Amino acid sequence: MSKKIILDKESAEFTKKIIELSGEIVTLCEQCGTCSGGCPMCDKAETSPSLMMRMAALGQKEILGSDIIWYCASCYTCTVRCPRGIDISKVAEALRQIILRDSVNRIDLSKLTPAELEKLPQIALVAALRKMTG
Ligand code: SF4
Ligand code: SF4
């Protein structure tokens, strides 16, 4: 009989965010390890895809500091092999998105001078504003 795991509010919110962004129900992962077994990046990264999935399901924010989310090459080997039909590369993508959305803004528009604002290409301003959507 499987044991029910109850997450604290913060962890549950984090898992919910990953599910929303990836569209994948990370809690379906049964930790079979198949994704890690076939991952071409596994020997390069310190964290395996299956550990990434476990931490995502448990809402452990430490996963944001893992290298696998950046090493993942979206090759879909894990995705086609996962017995639970989870697209693991989408989970890695969601975790990258969380980091990119939460990162410190490199351009603080309120601190730019009118001369700088005039010089900046419009696309740079749009990109800067998009990074504040986290
Ligand atoms: S292959 Fe699927 S079910 Fe197995 S550990 Fe990876 S994500 Fe979980
Ligand atoms: S999609 Fe990413 S995690 Fe999955 S096997 Fe390929 S590199 Fe590894």
Q: Enumerate residues lining ligand 1, CB below 6 A.
A: 29-35, 50, 53, 78, 82-84, 86, 88
Task: Say which residues have a Cβ less than 8 Å from residue 109's Cβ, sequence separation at least 6.
Answer: 117, 125, 128, 129
Same domain? For 65 and 50 the reply is yes
Rounded-to-integer distance, Cα 18 and Cα 14, Å:
6
Does residue 1 lie within any of the structural domains?
Answer: no
Is 49 within 8 Å of 69 (Cβ atoms)? no
Residues 62-111: tens digit of each pLDDT: 999 999 999 999 999 999 999 999 999 999 999 999 988 766 555 677 88
Residue 134 has pLDDT above 70, yes or no: no
Q: Whole-number mean pLDDT of the chain?
A: 88
Percentage of the chain lying above the pLDDT 70 cut: 88
Same domain? For 71 and 87 the reply is yes
Same domain? For 87 and 116 the reply is no
- Look up the pTM and report it: 0.78
Residue 118 has pLDDT above 80, yes or no: yes
Sign of the four-CA dihedral 79, 84, 86, 91: negative
Task: Find the range with the poorest average confidence among 6-15, 34-43, 64-73, 111-120.
Answer: 111-120
> Is the minimum distance from the CB of 73 to ligand 2 under 6 angstroms?
yes
Is 52 within 8 Å of 95 (Cβ atoms)? yes
Residue 24 has pLDDT above 70, yes or no: yes
Is 100 within 8 Å of 93 (Cβ atoms)? no
Count how many domains the chain has: 2
Residue 23 CB neighbour total at 10 angstroms = 10
